[in-house]
Amino acid sequence: MFLIAGLGNPGRDYANTRHNIGFDVIETLAGQENIYVLEKKHKAVIGKGYIGGQKVILAKPQTYMNLSGESIREMADYYKIDVKEELIVIADDISLEAGQIRLRKKGSAGGHNGLKSIITHLGHDEFQRVKMGVGGKPDGYDLADYVLGHFTQDERKRMDEAAKEAADAIRMILAQGIEAAMNHFNGKR
């Protein structure tokens, strides 16, 4: 069973913000695969189903970004997820241009508080991730204000396409493994 967790913040105020692109990817994947992400459990909203014959849990932690690890650790323990092989985390990344995706098998938090929380709660950084580029912070902007800012109309179109590409990447991870998916998707654009 795979746990696929998109990071974000709960509530309408945070919808359509850069920091919530993980939630957007979960919604895209859920819509494509007819999985309803409605059940409130483990400090998250989750949906269970199958993608390409693999049993999956799609999750949107509701702990706010900086405490994402609490929810993910609780789900991993409850469902006996091998976090090194069966956890996929989707997060925003300001070091990638808007719409670019990059897959990783492991790595540091890179200043991302949601990833930092997950690493702290798991005790290591060895989990698969789909990093979603949201563009670099413009000079003079506060980082928190930037990632909690809303996409422009053009950016939103680009991010919707990127969410579909990320869903394809996740399907490839499930079917062929992270290495094949990294070889296929990393370096595009």
The pLDDT score that the predictor gives to residue 189 is 57
Q: Dihedral of the CA atoms 96, 26, 185, 83 (nearest 10)?
A: 100
The catalytic site residues sit at 19
| Buried residues in 5-43 as b, exposed as e (16+ CB within 10 A) | bbbbbbeeebeebbbbbbbbbbbbbbeebebebeeeebb
Instruction: Going from the first residue of the chain to its last (189 residues), give the mean pLDDT of each consecutive group of 10, the final group possibly shorter.
Output: 97 93 98 98 98 97 97 98 98 94 96 97 98 91 88 92 98 97 86
| pTM, to two decimals | 0.96
